[in-house]
Structure 1
Amino acid sequence: MLGDLVTRYLVLLFGYAFPAFECFRSVEKNKVDVEEIKFWCQYWIIIALVTVCERIGDVFLSWLPMYGEVKLAFFIYLWYPKTKGTGFIYETMLRPFVTRHETDIERKLQEMKAKGWDFAIYYWHNCTELGQTKFFDALQYFMSQSGKSTNSKTKKSNGYEPSAPPLPVPSPNEWPSMAMHKSKNRKRS
């Protein structure tokens, strides 16, 4: 567990942070070296491709022993000054493949872009419609709760609950008389 955590941070550091800083330094130099800029652009193209493939194939790859360590070693191989693996992988594998299939890749990406846009619009519409419905349901619920609290305030101030049936009023024959009350007091004393 701890080794996996350390490996992840090292991949972040040596696979993304350090190369990003080196790319920044190359771009910001007063004297721009085209070869160095080309190298870092090739590096980021390879990293983007690896990241996309990794997201798709993560189910099949992540369980392999030392997967994180191999990935870290690959990232360092790509930019390490003595190996400069970026140029080798780009020139021997990536460039020939992409140039051979460039039109198919572009067509597929355009189709996916259009489908993705339609998908985003569809879900945006459904989410806003659902959100609006839920908002008005919540508003209606709170309004009904405030109506109940108004009724409870009326109950507290008047001493009765308006929704409860009224108590029966006794007839005058059922009222106790004062004479009866006085006779009870005499018997006690």
Structure 2
Amino acid sequence: MFALLCQLASAFVGAVIPVFYSYKTIKKPSQKSLSYWSKYWTVFGSFLAVDAVLSTLFINYFIPFYEFGKLIFLIWAVCPQTAGAQFVFDKMLAPFIHRHERKMDLYVERMLDSVFTNGPTLALMVN
């Protein structure tokens, strides 16, 4: 039950609140807020990808309070006072992406090409 409450709170803190503030930023944009929320969503997307991999490996069953830890991370990441997402983006994600940008561009291009080439055939096979 505790894990479920943490998951619900994580969804609220990690997505619902940022959606509201992103909407307000789009309505009345400033360079500072656009940068802040762009970095947040980049970190959040990366967080979701890592969490999906870890959940596939059943890490959440082996690490006590895993869901609570995710909630604490999201609170830290979303809060302007702590600027956690800015820290993760500036110190970890941006340098990583910068180092691997060419490879990532190539992989994404190949993946999209494959999806657009083979996707319709696969969709017909499913039906």
TM-score by length of 1: 0.62
Q: Within the alignment, does 1:58 sit opposite 2:55 as a pair?
A: yes
Divergent runs of 4+, >4 A: none
Q: Offset of 1:120 from its aligned partner?
A: 2.0
Q: Which residue of 1 aligns with 2:46?
A: 49
CA gap 1:14/1:57 in 2 versus in 1, 3 angstroms: same
**AA at the equivalent of 1:62:** N
Aligned position for 2:108: 109
Q: Normalized per residue, which structure has more helix?
A: 2
Aligned length in residues: 125
* CA deviation string 1:138-174 (max 9, x = no partner): xxxxxxxxxxxxxxxxxxxxxxxxxxxxxxxxxxxxx
Query: Does the 8 Å CA contact 2:43/2:89 hold for their aligned counterparts?
Result: yes
Larger Cα-atom Rg:
1
Per-residue deviation, residues 105-164 of structure 1 (Å, max 9, x unmatched): 010111111222344222222234xxxxxxxxxxxxxxxxxxxxxxxxxxxxxxxxxxxx
Q: Which runs of 5+ in 1 are unaligned?
A: 129-189
Q: Secondary structure at the match of 1:24?
A: helix
Note the C-alpha offset of 1:79.
Answer: 1.7
User: Do the aligned partners of 2:13 and 2:78 also contact (CA within 8 Å) in 1?
Assistant: no
Deviations 1:87-112 (Å, cap 9, x if unpaired)? 11111111111011101001011111
TM-score under structure 2 normalisation?
0.89
Q: Which has the higher contact order (CA 8 A, sep 6+)?
A: 2
